[in-house]
Amino acid sequence: MTIRLPPDDAPDYLWDGQGEPDPDVLAVQSALAPLAWRAQPLQPRVLEAGAAALSARTRRRRFGRVAAALAASLFLSVGMAEGLRHRLQWPQDQAWRISEVVGAPQVQGVRQGEEDRLAPGQWLATGADARVHLRAARIGEVVIGEHSRFRIVQTRTGRHRTQLQQGVLWARVWAPPGQFGVATPRGDVIDLGCEFVLRAQPDGSGSVTVSSGWVQWDNGWSEVLVPQGARLDIAAGGRPGTPYDLRSSAAFRQALKAVDATRRIQPRDPRIDALVAQAQPQDALSLLVLLRQHPQLLDGPVYERLVQLMPADAQLTREQIRREGPRAYNLWWEQLPYPRTKRWWLHWADALPASGSADKMLDADAP
């Protein structure tokens, strides 16, 4: 096949499609025409296949991210569970470590220093201006204040019991309720996962101030729960008073002390009237405890003041209380601004080092 080229100045059909085409060029063009490119939209099946492939890749990527997150979460959960298990375990009667010493405290008459240990049964005695910081197994910290006598009675996994014969201690514990306790001359303090300051005297008097969680006071014939932000004063002989909020006024506290000093208070007693006259919203705790401990007060102003302090959608009638008994008060307990007693794990900050808070609380809790 011979292609005849046109003159240089003639239109060139081969390059710009102008001029007279050569018959042989037309023959070649005709033969290649079926292979020419034609712009046209993709077919639906092609689009669906591409979308499916993209979706599959996206799903694989998402699954990979979710799987990685689940694996990390599982690893973290297992690690936390193992860490908690280790924290709560403690060998039978293993001594507690003394982490800090101020002044000249003694154990069994021997002066102690940092990194010494206190074994079960040994008496720790502090004098004036002396303090001892102890690691309470692995579940917390205990600081023994000045003029105190303290010992470990029992220590093992799940149960740590101590005794404060006299003086003051601060404790912060992060463990299930009931694992840590302190005996005093006339009653026991049971930790419910909290931070508190305990004072005790040989005659059974003392106090408990709670800054986190709850504690329970038990003297063998009565039990009192003390929530975060409240204090319980204990009279000689171990007789507990009524817990009160730390924000309560001095006038309310004085009136409450007068009521507690009466063995069987009556609804219309002038001391009750004086107490109710001073009651503010933060005093609902004390009024509710009084109402539970002295059912006869239901017919007086203590009940009426509580009705005023409680939300409108959480009201209890006298008839309802008489019919249901003490459990009816659960509705009012739930309205009080205190943490629930069984949620000890939420107070995770109690697992952290004290960082000086113990000394501040001991100084602030002076009688």
Assess whether 252 and 181 both reside in one domain: no
Q: Is residue 241 part of a domain?
A: no
The pTM (predicted TM-score) of the whole model is 0.75
Q: What's the pLDDT score for residue 194?
A: 85
* More confident call, 179 vs 29: 179
CATH number at residue 196: 2.60.120.1440
Q: Is residue 47 part of a domain?
A: no
Q: How many CA atoms lie within 13 A of 61 on its CB side?
A: 6
Q: What's the pLDDT score for residue 8?
A: 46
Q: Which two tokens stand for residue 46?
A: 């092609």
Q: Is residue 40 part of a domain?
A: no
Q: What is the DSSP string of 98-133?
A: EEEEES--EETTEE--TT-EE-TTPPEE--TT-EEE
Q: Which of 13-22, 63-72, 73-82, 110-119 has the highest mean pLDDT?
A: 110-119
pLDDT (average), residues 299-305: 97
Q: Considering the chain, what percentage of its residues have pLDDT values greater than 90?
A: 62
8 Å CB contact between 12 and 19: yes
Q: What's the pLDDT score for residue 10?
A: 47
Assess whether 173 and 303 both reside in one domain: no
Assess whether 105 and 211 both reside in one domain: yes
Assess whether 176 and 255 both reside in one domain: no
pLDDT (average), residues 242-254: 98
Assess whether 272 and 289 both reside in one domain: yes
> Minimum mean pLDDT among 76-90, 279-293, 319-333: which range?
76-90
> Minimum mean pLDDT among 48-52, 136-140, 243-247: which range?
48-52
Among residues 64, 88, 112, which one ends one of the domains?
88
Q: Is residue 32 part of a domain?
A: no
Q: What's the pLDDT score for residue 3?
A: 44
Q: Is residue 316 part of a domain?
A: yes
- β-strands 195-200, 239-240 pairing: unpaired
pLDDT at 350 over 60: no
* More confident call, 16 vs 131: 131
* More confident call, 10 vs 104: 104
8 Å CB contact between 100 and 132: yes
Mean pLDDT of the chain: 84
Among residues 66, 88, 110, which one ends one of the domains?
88
Assess whether 134 and 83 both reside in one domain: no
Assess whether 137 and 193 both reside in one domain: yes
Assess whether 111 and 72 both reside in one domain: no
Q: Is residue 2 part of a domain?
A: no
pLDDT at 96 over 70: yes
Q: What is the pLDDT of residues 145-155, one digit of tens each?
A: 999 999 999 99
* More confident call, 54 vs 240: 240
Into how many domains does the chain fold? 3
Q: Which two tokens stand for residue 55?
A: 């979706």
Assess whether 216 and 105 both reside in one domain: yes
pLDDT (average), residues 281-300: 97
Q: What's the pLDDT score for residue 32?
A: 60
* More confident call, 354 vs 82: 82
Assess whether 81 and 140 both reside in one domain: no
* More confident call, 314 vs 51: 314
Burial class (CB in 10 A: 0-12, 13-18, 19+), 242: buried
User: What whole-number distance in Å separates Cα of residue 62 and Cα of residue 342?
Assistant: 38
Among positive and negative, which fits the CA dihedral 96, 100, 101, 102? negative
Assess whether 215 and 198 both reside in one domain: yes
User: What whole-number distance in Å separates Cα of residue 110 and Cα of residue 131?
Assistant: 15
* Domain containing residue 252: 247-337
8 Å CB contact between 225 and 341: yes
Q: Report phi then psi at 178, rounded to 5.
A: 90, -5
Q: What's the pLDDT score for residue 195?
A: 94
Q: Is residue 346 part of a domain?
A: no
> Minimum mean pLDDT among 27-31, 77-81, 111-115, 126-130: which range?
77-81
Can you list the pairs that 254-261 forms with residues at least 24 positions away whose Cβ atoms lie under 8 Å? 256/286, 257/233, 259/290, 260/233, 260/235, 261/235
Assess whether 255 and 106 both reside in one domain: no
Q: Is residue 15 part of a domain?
A: no
Q: What's the pLDDT score for residue 361?
A: 76
